[in-house]
Amino acid sequence: MNILAIILVSSGIITPTLDYTFKRRVSAYIVLFVIFIASIISIALLYITYNVSNVLLYDGVIKVDFYGTFLAFLATIGTLLVLIASMYEVRRWSTAPSFYSLLPLTLLGVYYIIFLNDIILLFIAWTLVSVASYALVGIKKDENSLEGAAKYALMGIIATTFLLYGLALIYGLTGSTKILDIIQYAKPLRNEPLLIIGIILLIISFSFKIGVVPFHGWLPDVYGGVHPSIISFIAGVVKLVGIAALLRVIYPFAQIMGNAWLIIFSILSISTMTFGNIAALVQRNVQRMMAYSSIAHAGYILLGFAAATGAGYLYGLQGIALHISTYIFAKIGIFVTLAYLSRIGLKLDLEGLSGLSKKMPITSVSLIILLLSLIGVPPLLGFWSKFPYLFLSTIDIAPWLTLIAIINSGISVGYYVQVIKSVFFLSSKAEGVERVKDPELIVIIITTIVTIILGLGIAPFIASTLTYK
For 338-356, write each residue's pLDDT tens digit: 999 998 888 888 888 888 8
Cα separation of 438 and 449, whole Å?
17
Please report the pLDDT score of residue 314 as a whole number.
93
Summarised one tens digit per residue, pLDDT across range 182-236 is 988 888 888 788 999 999 999 999 999 999 999 988 899 899 889 999 999 999 9
End-to-end CA distance of the chain: 20
Cα separation of 413 and 411, whole Å?
5
3-state SS of 250-301 is HHHHHHHHCHHHHHHHHHHHHHHHHHHHHHHHCCCEHHHHHHHHHHHHHHHH
- The set of long-range contacts for 370-373, using a CB threshold of 8 Å and a minimum separation of 24, is 370/329, 370/330, 370/333, 370/334, 370/337, 370/447, 370/448, 370/451, 371/330, 371/334, 371/416, 371/419, 371/420, 372/416, 373/326, 373/329, 373/330, 373/451, 373/455
Q: Closest Cα to residue 300, out of 404, 456, 224? A: 404
**What DSSP state is assigned to residue 92?**
G
**Residues making up the chain, counted from first to last:** 469
CA 72 to chain centre: 11
Q: For 51-85, give the DSSP string.
A: T---EEETTTTEEE-HHHHHHHHHHHHHHHHHHHH
Amino acid at 267: I
Amino acid at 428: S
**Integer angstrom CA distances of residue 54 from 69, 253, 265, 467:** 11, 18, 26, 11
Interacting residues of 110 by C-beta distance below 8 A, sequence separation 6+: 72, 75, 125, 129, 237, 238, 240, 241, 244
For the chain, give every domain's residue range.
258-469
Q: Which residues of the chain have pLDDT under 50?
A: none
Cα separation of 235 and 192, whole Å?
36
Interacting residues of 261 by C-beta distance below 8 A, sequence separation 6+: 253, 254, 306, 308, 309
Say if residues 320 and 376 touch (Cβ distance below 8 Å).
Answer: no
Say if residues 229 and 89 touch (Cβ distance below 8 Å).
Answer: yes
Amino acid at 160: T
Amino acid at 199: I
- State pTM to two decimals: 0.94
